Amino acid sequence: MISVKSTADLAKMRASGKIAGGALKLVGEKIKPGMTTLQVNKIVHDYIVSHGAKPSFLHYGGFPASACISVNEEVIHGIPTAKRVLKEGDIVSVDVGALKDGFHSDTCMTFPVGEISDEARKLLEVTQNSLFAAIDIVKAGVRIGDISHTVQEYCESRGYGVVRQYCGHGVGRQLHEDPEVPNYGVAGHGTRLVSGMTIAIEPMINVKGAGVKVLDNGWTVVTTSGSLSAHFEHTVAVTSEGAVILTLP
């Protein structure tokens, strides 16, 4: 069932989103070669807790960390570890959520580690641009399929693979709510947006092909091609005038 938020609810979600966005901003300032993914996780955890919130992902479905940290060909749900040392040229997706006053937020960015290749830089640019292209069309009356088609068309027309097995979603009192927000679809189809809905839009885009698989740890999703993958996400509120991004720092 789709949840429509009140003005008071949205104010709480904005506060939660500001914390999640702030955690990512801090990661962007600190991430560097030689850092472990467990150290990145600690940055996220400490920031969220110090701002009076709880990490949404910690123990969610049994996930053992406060952030999903996915490197290079890892698409989503990478588990932070002291053994994974970031090196020059890596790209790192850091997916975080914050729970405050009963409401969740969900956001992700893919960061360059030092100097990265032209291939990696272009992937990050296209994936992030597809997110903002989708956000730009959000307003009451638009359908989910319009969002999905926008991401798909933007990325596939540039030769990239759009992950189909995982998608965006509603966000609110639960981390994952209705409706699902795929990154592929047919314009003019699907649930019609109404003011007060809050959704996470999150393109997951691969350099080569849409194929993915889950590793033996039961969590981490990687590209079947072994190619790089990027992931950008914002939680947004729907209004009659457009989208309000709730996960800005």
Find the helix or strand (DSSP H, E) in which 43 lies: helix 37-50
CATH superfamily of 7-245: Creatinase/methionine aminopeptidase superfamily (3.90.230.10)
The residues spanned by each domain of the chain are 7-245
Please identify every stretch of the chain with a pLDDT value under 70, giving residue numbers as ranges: none
Residue for token pair 């994936």: 127
| CA quadruple 80, 17, 110, 217: dihedral, nearest 10 | 30
Q: Which pair of structure tokens corresponds to residue 5?
A: 């938020």
For helices 7-30 and 37-50, give the axis angle rounded to 10 degrees: 140
Where does residue 80 fall: left (phi above 0), alpha (psi -120 to 50 degrees), or beta otherwise? beta
| Pair 53, 99: CB distance under 8 Å | yes
Q: Would you tell me the crossing angle of helices 144-156 and 118-137 to the nearest 10 degrees?
A: 160
Q: What is the DSSP letter of 91?
A: E
The torsion angle over the Cα atoms of residues 115, 98, 213 and 133, rounded to 10 degrees, is -70
* pLDDT value for 176: 98
Q: What is the pLDDT of residue 5?
A: 98
Beta strands, E only, 79-139: 91-100, 103-112
Helix (H) or strand (E) holding 180: strand 177-181
